[in-house]
Structure 1
Amino acid sequence: MDNLQQVFGCNVFSKAIMKERLSKDTYKKLLRTLDLNEELIPEVAEIVASVMKDWAIEKGATHYTHWFQPMTGKTAEKHDSFIEPTGDGRVIMEFSGKQLIQGEPDASSFPNGGLRATFEARGYTTWDATSPAFVKDHTLYIPTAFCSYSGEALDKKTPLLRSMEAISKQAIRILRLFGDTKIQKVVSTVGPEQEYFVVDKSLFYQRKDLMYTGRTLFGAKPPKGQELDDHYFGAIKDRVHNFMNELDVELWKLGVASKTKHNEVAPAQHEMAPIYTTTNIATDQNQLVMDTLVKVAARHDLACLLHEKPFAGINGSGKHNNWSIGTDKANLLEPGVTPHENAQFLTFLVATIAAVGKYAPLLRLSAASSGNDHRLGANEAPPAIISIFLGEQLTDIINQIKDGALTSCKSATHMDLGVTTLPKFKKDVTDRNRTSPFAFTGNKFEFRMVGSTASIAGPNIILNTIVADVLKDMADELEKAEDFSVRLSSIIERLVKEHSNILFDGDGYDSSWIQEAERRGLPNIKTAVEAIKAFSEPEYIELFERHGVFTEGEVMARQEIMFEEYAKTINIEALTTIQIAKKEILPASLHYASHVASSIKNIQSVVQDADVSAQIEIVAKINSLYLDASTALATLESTLSKTQGIKEMYKRAKAYKFEVYEAMEALRKPCDALEEVVAKSFWPMPTYGDLLFRV
């Protein structure tokens, strides 16, 4: 590999490239858009477009695309070449400011939740200058927002940008009260860790369930799983290591600061983690990470599984969303050496605590999906109950505030392991809690509930908006105060007392926490269906409208899309379950039973009084399980047909969760039992053992 410093960001139209290629005046004007959220001047866009085109062509690009994030949770792109005919049989390479700023994809063919009728097809993409363009696969990718002809946001980027402006606006008000009169922008930042599985590609294509749904719908438990804890942080297999090395290089070229890679808890499970960056860019980059994972894995004859729960009985995959806020000079969630004396830090800390306490159902909503329903609450992921872990030092400070007398904080100590040759090192002031869904980890909050396939736009839209709302209330009150310090202390103490029930530093996996949370009055929203239903509560619609993040119509549209996606996902899973059972598992089981029955006859033809009771028992067991599976299959088909006819989306989604999914599980049980009886040579698909250990 070439020098890493030369490789990193080599395919990104970064600030460094712009500074090098644009005139000082043009670059300065563009920076005002990038750094201060000022409107882009058309003349600047024209110059940038020309320079961007020349740079992209030098990188081998022949096409450009407006790259956007519709409400599918995936990305979308339509490619156009740079060529323009000259009229004499030749072409020139052109790219105007208008082409940079605006595109026009079909808006009716993407999920819109009723915002657009089918015949109303026009939609627009518009350049997001705050996220850098890049070259990939001979194409210039231009990050864009996506809206309808009438101006409604049809994507995930637009409300994310709105939420970033909302939190910046309210945080600036607070900072100015602390005396920072020159502050012009506050940004939220994120470092999203990404968990995933890799399996052999040839085995992947032998599993219809993995191909169609991303998860296994059948599969008996293998003799070995993750019980020995030997995979976590274990030595990385050569094949996977080669894949990871190429993944890093490809991500580095795109400016993604891929920092950490390791084996996760489950066999065949792994994780990568980037260095944090601005939330908008981090969201774009995480979409690139998921896309690159899949493509690079295929080049190594591997298949990357991003589903939250590809395999039953072992850990699923999440996406830890490490969120913070800051200025170009400081992280506003940095405690400092004496956090109990740091009033500014305590203000933003308590605002975040209050926001999560007040709007916990919205945060739960942001992690809601059919895939995550399989994961949340298992012994691998946070429960569906939102709580906050602060650690010993900050919990002690919060308790002092609650008692009305903040005077001290716990200090760091040094660790002595009792071995002379081992150095003494500084011990952190607090431990970590991996069972907490929302944990403070030094100078940021780690939201661990997000699913591995999710766009991180949703969780960060919620986080930015709810914290902005609490900061707004604080600023409204403080700006009227005669004595800022006295009023601030009063507000912080009040918010701590009102929302201290959200703080929990125990084991979130322990069943006793469910009862304790209920006693505290914390919501336990167990399924995605119920979480989605909360989206349209009047208080939440008012919240989003208050900060200009969503209109009521945009909220209702997104709720409709989430219900529809949930129902369609389980519908696909149910159809796949039926097909595999009917065309693969049941025929294979019958074939094996017939084979054993024939062997009984063959044995008896040679030895008439031979004891074939064991073989007869096998046939009887297969026959019994076959009948159970056939009955369950008929029930699933009937339940699915009935559910497909339900018109109202909430009721349909609920039926898919509590009726169709349960019918799928009822069919899976005898089918998995058949796998343990039928000979491997007769079984129609790779087993869990094959998938998890043959990499």
Structure 2
Amino acid sequence: MGKNKVTEEYGSLLCTEAVLQDRLPKPTYRALMRVMKEGEPLDLDIANEVAHAMKDWALEKGATHFAHWFQPLTGITSEKHDSFITPKGDGSVLMTFSGKELVQGEPDASSFPSGGLRATFEARGYTAWDPTSPAFIKDEVLCIPTAFISYTGEALDKKTPLLRAQVALETQAKRVLTLFGHDVTKVSTTIGPEQEYFLIKEADYQARPDLVLTGRTLFGCEPAKGQELEEHYFGAIRPTVNAFMKEVDAELWKLGVPAKTKHNEVAPSQHELAPIFEQGSLAIDDNLLTMEKLKLLATHHGLACLEHEKPFEYVNGSGKHNNWSLCADDKNLLEPGAEPSENLQFLVFLAALVAAVDMHADLLRQSVASAGNDHRLGANEAPPAIISVFLGDELDSIVEALINDEPTVSHALLHMDLGVPALPDVLQDNTDRNRTSPFAFTGNKFEFRMCGSQQNLSDPNVVLDTAVAEQCDAFATALAGKEGEDFAAAALAWVKETLRAHQRVIFEGNGYSDEWEAEAVRRGLPNLKSTPDALPSLIDPKNVAFYEKYHVLNEAELRARYISKAEQYAKLINIEANTMVYMARHLYVPALSEYSGDLATSVATKAEIGIDATAERALTSKLTEGINAICAATDDLDGRNAETRAIEDPQRECDAYRGAVLPAMERLRAAVDAMEEFCGTDYWPVPTYNTMLFWV
């Protein structure tokens, strides 16, 4: 039987190891694999041969250009296209691509966020090939995943710290595994990002300046129907959406992105795409490609893809669950096994995760902090801003027993008889899921559920990887030289001591409840409710020392990230405030004035002929009062925004945007939304929630 279309096309635009093995001399291929798998330095002669093979493959696929594909501090991807052509003296051209062009590029770095690492007149930056992430072809361009650094060597991107953190984690985890008698070749994280997004009609999107300029609706009264009937969740997929999803799958599969699951989400017009797990940095590269393809391909179907965390009020926003695990030579180190309580190696890594999350909860919180995500966290649709760990019934009971020096009891898996002979018994998992937990164990991995839908997942994984590396380091250092029964006893004692010291972060209850917020305060857990609250953790001296110890980020790089994130927060809210002022003055007030004017004319006409128009007169008065309220709120917002924009200190500016501008934005929205409920549909200047969320 021949291959089907999917198996034939899967990875066809990806320069895989198989492609390189087929095109490179055996010694060159083996040398490249040592670079990719074992981190050996890359020789320029090898790079030249690899570049030649990549170029020939790309040309056969129709490519004409190459680009170093990188992730600046904007969080999205960037690329500069250079053609393969090299002119000859006779007027013709050769198609060339050198090893130097493969391994290093020089994009202009002056206009990317640098947080003060670079002055705007200093333009030079470098991109460096990341051989652990395969090159791919996109729009006739050979895209080469790269790191991005400044002229003086500091990381100006999201990928470089992630690769450093992965090195730190691998180094320390190998020390732990050596103590357990395992000599492993490779330790790496695996990540599975679950991407949520909304789809609306492109015409509705284009008719809303707030969506176009900010990615979310800044106005809109509550629709007649929301998500309360829950019929959209896992419901039948609209034909238009299904056609879009099919094209997304096809294009991602060509790029080797293992898109697996697609379904309708809870909110109307909301959907999710989830891939099969991949190695950490590659999974993030593929998620960024996925986000790009979702937005691009939606336009092919007359749709707009919204990846903002909160494009609509009154219904759920969108997140991106970061499913995280740790593997040694492809064996999952977070697999509990049949008897978790007897699996000492698993318990060591479990304790390391619990301690890592507790010790660096502030960094985890800031890693997902953004103006968009602040609308989700703590809003009964996403985990609270308080970081806690959910283990589930079996592991929680084991941890409790270890902490209290009591015998541990494993829970046998239960076969549930459904009472229908034709149906098979269902094997019950050893724990339920807790969707209110920010960091939940889900069988053989942890799910970090606080991430925002539009964010680059490098930030939270840098924290996780480095924090777990720190705990592995602590274990390996404490138990160095111990063997046999002494090692087993000392390892178990380390697990107990670590879990006892960090038990406060373990919480099995409802993370949405007010009671948990009060309990978290009692436990001493941080509750950084907003981005301005969370960002200073990046430059906390203890966190600077933590990152510097494992060579992930230095103080200058951390300060740059703090300033860049603060600037991004302030700029985003400034844009939102400007957009609200524009829409109020140029769309809503004119529309309401026209409607109230027509009503007033109708009232006057009826009065002339003796017809009572009490209701219309009252409505006209209400509309006039509403216009006055909108104008006053608009002026107030405009003034507060101007004052805040003039603040030079990044932290004070962020605090002012949160404390003064956001409340003014809320007041203006309330004034406009109140009038939407009374204004005639034909007069209202933009598509409403009822229109955008419930389209056919």
TM-score bin (small chain): over 0.9
The answer to whether the 8 A contact 2:185-2:329 is kept is: no
Work out whether 1:611 is the aligned partner of 2:612.
Answer: yes
- Report the AA paired with residue 148 of structure 1: S
Whichever residue aligns with residue 253 of structure 2, its letter is W
For each residue in 1:622-648, what CA deviation from the matched residue of structure 2 results, as whole angstroms up to 9, or x when unmatched?
111111111111111110111011010
The match for 1:601 is: 604
1:398 alignment counterpart: 399
Q: Trace 1:180-579 onto structure 2 (pairs within 5 A).
A: 180=182, 182-481=183-482, 483-579=486-582
The DSSP-based 3-state class of the residue aligned with 1:370 is: coil
Identity of aligned residues (%): 51
1:97-130 deviations in Å (ceiling 9; x for gaps): 0010110001111100111112211111010000
- Which stretch shifts more, 249-258 or 328-337? 328-337
User: What is the TM-score with the length of structure 2 in the denominator?
Assistant: 0.98
Secondary structure of 1:142's match? strand
Q: Distance in 2 between matches of 1:329 and 1:478?
A: 25
CA contact (8 A) 2:193 2:320 kept: yes
Task: Find the aligned partners of 2:289 and 2:251 in 1 and give their Cα distance.
Answer: 10
Q: Deviations over 1:168-223 (max 9, x none)?
A: 0000000000001x323210110000000000001100000000000000001110
TM-score normalised over the length of structure 1 = 0.99
Q: Which amino acid is 2:517 matched to?
A: I
SS of the aligned residue for 1:190 comes to strand
Alignment correspondent of 2:587: 584
Deviations 1:346-386 (A, max 9, x none): 11111000100111111111110000000101121000010
CA distance in 1, matches of 2:198, 2:321: 16
- 2:596 aligned counterpart, secondary structure: helix
**1:364/1:384 contact within 8 Å kept:** yes
* Corresponding letter in the other structure for 1:548: H
Give the deviation of 1:405 after TM superposition. Answer: 3.1
Residues 524-582 of structure 1: CA distance to partner in whole angstroms, max 9, x if unpaired? Answer: 11001111011111110000000000010000000000000000000000000000001
Per-residue deviation, 1:407? 3.5
Distance 2:273 2:330 in 1: 28
TM-fit CA distance, 1:37: 1.4
Q: Unaligned regions of 5+ residues in structure 2, if any?
A: none
Secondary structure (helix, strand or coil) at the match of 2:640 reads: helix
Residue pair 2:596, 2:623 contacting (<8 A) in 1 also = yes
C-alpha deviations, 1:370-404, integer Å up to 9, x for none? 00000101121000010111111111110111111
Question: Unaligned stretches of 5+ in structure 1?
Answer: none
Distance across 1 between alignment mates of 2:233 and 2:404: 42
| 8 Å Cα contact 2:592/2:623 also seen in 1 | yes
Alignment-mate amino acid for residue 134 of structure 2: P
Q: In structure 2, how many angstroms separate the alpha carbons of the residues matched to 1:531 and 1:103?
A: 35
Equivalent-residue separation in structure 2 for 1:193 and 1:658 (angstroms): 33
Asked if 1:681 corresponds to 2:688, the answer is no
The structural deviation recorded for 1:481 is: 4.0
Once residues 329 and 46 of structure 1 are traced to their aligned partners in structure 2, the CA distance between those partners, rounded to angstroms, is 31
Q: CA deviation at 1:658?
A: 1.4
Structure 2 residue matching 1:147: 3-state secondary structure: strand
* Counterpart in the other structure of 1:158: 160
The CA distance in 2 between the partners of 1:635 and 1:3, in whole Å, is 59
Confirm or deny that 1:133 pairs with 2:135.
yes
1:484 CA drift (Å): 1.2
Q: Which residue of 1 aligns with 2:639?
A: 638
Match of 1:19 in 2: 21
Shift of 1:18: 1.3
Hey, what's the Cα distance between the residues in 2 that align with 1:410 and 1:500?
A: 21
Q: CA deviation at 1:42?
A: 1.5
C-alpha contact 1:340 1:406 (8 A) present in aligned 2? no
Aligned twin of 1:149: 151
Q: Distance in 1 between matches of 2:332 and 2:218?
A: 45
Q: Quick one: distance in 1 between partners of 2:338 and 2:470?
A: 28
Q: Is the 8 A contact 2:198 2:305 kept in 1?
A: yes
- What is the Cα deviation at residue 296 of structure 1? 0.6
CA distance in 2, matches of 1:404, 1:19: 54
Query: Which whole-Å CA distance do the structure 2 matches of 1:99 and 1:544 have between them?
Result: 32
Q: Which runs of 4+ in 1 moved over 4 A?
A: none
Q: Deviations over 1:639-668 (max 9, x none)?
A: 011101101000001111111111011011
- CA–CA distance in 2 between the matches of 1:195 and 1:421? 36
Report the Cα offset of residue 140 of structure 1: 0.2
Q: CA deviation digits over 1:59-103, x for unaligned, max 9?
A: 100000000000000111000000000110000100000010110
User: Counterparts of 1:129 and 1:42 in 2: how far apart (Å)?
Assistant: 13
Does 510-519 or 640-649 show the bigger shift?
510-519
